[in-house]
Amino acid sequence: MNVAIAPEPWDAPDAARLRAAQRAELDARYGNDDHEPGTAPSAGDMAVFVVAREREGAAAIGCGGLRMLASGVAEIKRMYVAPAHRGTGVATAILRDLEARAYDAGIRRLVLETGTSQPEAIRFYQREGYEQIDNFGPYVGATQSVCFARTPHPPTGS
């Protein structure tokens, strides 16, 4: 799928709508709204937040962001693609965009957390070259959390 990915404010209407849809889906999967250990991301702690749009029609169909954890380390947060667009390459495009932005910003380690009730996400990150790591930070001891990491590579064409 041909998509346009660009930074958008955390609180922009489409960004907020996509995050709310993700939250509702995860609440349903886990059977409650208490499935994210640690502090939820916010406008104040996201280094960048991107929204993917269909080139034609400009519909917002996916999102993702980077939250700085330490010098050279960022956490991928709020990766989400609307169900109708899954399996079309949108998630990979968002992930590659975030990796390129991370690399350009001097980030040399990307980490992320997903959950045991998200087998599709686990397979996706493994397929995209992320290696499972011990749970970090707020996810230590969280039995529903599965953590991954990767070193971002220079963007294609660099």
**pLDDT of 16:** 96
* Rama region for 71: left / alpha / beta (φ>0; ψ in -120 to 50; rest): beta
- Cα angle value 21/23/26 (rounded, 5°): 110
What range does the domain containing 21 cover?
Answer: 3-150
Share of the chain above pLDDT 70, in %: 96
In a domain, residue 10? The reply is yes
What's the pLDDT band for 155 if we cut at 50, 70, 90?
confident
In a domain, residue 145? The reply is yes
Mean pLDDT of 132-145: 95
CATH code of the domain containing 109: 3.40.630.30
In a domain, residue 128? The reply is yes
**And the tokens for 109?**
């380690």
In a domain, residue 12? The reply is yes
In a domain, residue 109? The reply is yes
In a domain, residue 62? The reply is yes
Instruction: Check residue 40 and report its DSSP letter.
Output: P
Question: Looking at the 3D structure of the chain, how many domains does it have?
Answer: 1
Question: 45: number of CA atoms within 13 Å, CB side?
Answer: 13
In a domain, residue 31? The reply is yes
**pLDDT of 158:** 53
In a domain, residue 118? The reply is yes
CB 130, CB 95: distance < 8 Å: no
Nearest-10 Cα torsion for 118, 43, 17, 79: -30
**And the tokens for 64?**
């993702």
CB 85, CB 137: distance < 8 Å: no
